[in-house]
Amino acid sequence: MPSAGTYTCPWASNKYSLPKRAIGFLGKTLIRTPLSQLRVTSTCSTQDKELIFWGAPAIRSHPDNWYTIDWLKHFNNQLDFIPYARKAGYKGIIMTSWSTSGVYGYNWDTNYEVINMHPMRNVYPLSGFRILIAAYAQSLKQEEALNPQVFVSEYAQKRFGFSKEDGDKLWKILIASPQLIKNANEIDTIYQSVKNAKKIMSSLTPKYNKNEFKHLRLMIDLRLFYLNFKKIEAFYESDKYSPSTAYTIIPELEKLLKESKILDKRFSNLNKGFLYPNEIKEQNSVRSEKLIKIYEIVTKSK
């Protein structure tokens, strides 16, 4: 309804996937968005000749999950795309946050009837990402490209009362080994990097906005909890595991189960009022689901 100031905008997966005949059919106004640093294009019909561009840099997207946040990727999204949008003459910005990327797993019944859908990614709530939103706001205010490292250090100094040295430490913590684990051989290296980051985090004591900083502490603790579990899981899935060796990992699994309860409580306290109670319960359940399943199998086989 152009007369009401609204338009229908179908999306394409990237700027090359929409054929010219579709652009000609749909119209001449384009919205380009760098989701996960991709130049994604959508098209909506307004005028016959004029091209009008809008941008939509995502606050966050893949590969984020409850156990990892690719901070560097998200900051670089602001670094790269907003100056590009200015230079290209874009007329506006639409901010997005791709929590699940629209990818789901399904529970099927006979004849492929869908019983239930589950998001493939369960990300940490937006309650913990004020620093990213502030980076976006700052990148809109200034003409030059955002320098993520400088921004994080200055943000930490102003927002948490840190020294410049401690502000620089926060940057190092945020960018520590966010990669997904594709091979069990990678776990030890990633684990050591995140463990070092947690040690640095433990040395930081904010003067202001302590609850906001608690979110950042919890994120890295969840990451380390996950990596500890992956180390146990790697043994469980290896040829070294058998019913006769099951007893060797039971103490470690029980330790993680106790830790999961503590992490659940911290998550609940920090996100009370931001998420509905049932959603908090669901997210706490997702984080420990696989751990509980392996523990049940192992204890039955000992």
Number of domains in the chain: 1
Q: For residue 4, is it within any domain?
A: no
Give the model's pLDDT for residue 50.
58
Distance separating alpha carbons of residues 109 and 16, to the nearest angstrom = 37
Q: What is the pLDDT along the chain (302 residues), one digit of tens a residue?
A: 456 556 555 443 334 344 444 444 444 444 454 543 333 334 444 334 456 777 777 888 888 999 999 999 999 988 988 888 888 888 788 887 877 666 778 888 888 888 888 777 889 999 999 999 999 999 999 999 999 999 999 999 999 999 999 999 999 999 999 999 989 999 999 999 999 999 999 999 999 999 999 999 999 999 999 999 999 999 999 999 998 899 999 999 999 999 999 999 999 999 999 999 999 999 999 999 999 999 999 998 66
Nearest CA among 138, 103, 142 for reference residue 119: 103
Whether 10 is in a domain gets the answer no
Is residue 185 in a domain?
yes
Bridge partners, residue 31, by sequence: 42, 54
Phi, psi of 113 (to 5 degrees): -75, 130
Q: Which domain holds residue 72?
A: 57-100+120-301
Nearby residues of 46 by Cβ (< 8 Å), 6 or more positions away: 2, 7, 27, 28, 29, 52
Provide the whole-model pTM: 0.85
Is the residue at 3 inside a domain?
no
Pairing of strands 92-93, 104-108: unpaired
- What pLDDT shows up at residue 274? 96
pLDDT of residue 141: 93
Residues 6+ apart with CB under 8 A from 298: 236, 246, 249, 250, 253
Residue from 264, 254, 237, 266 nearest 291 by CA: 254
**Cα–Cα distance, 230 to 228 (Å, whole number):** 5
Is 118:104 a contact under the CB 8 Å cutoff? yes
**How far is it, in rounded angstroms, from Cα 55 to Cα 52?**
10
SS3 104: strand
Q: Which residue has the tokens 């948490």?
A: 160
Helices (H), the chain: 20-26, 71-87, 130-141, 148-160, 164-174, 187-202, 210-236, 250-271, 277-301
Phi, then psi, of 78 in degrees rounded to 5: -70, -40
User: In the numeric block, which tokens belong to residue 184?
Assistant: 């069990």
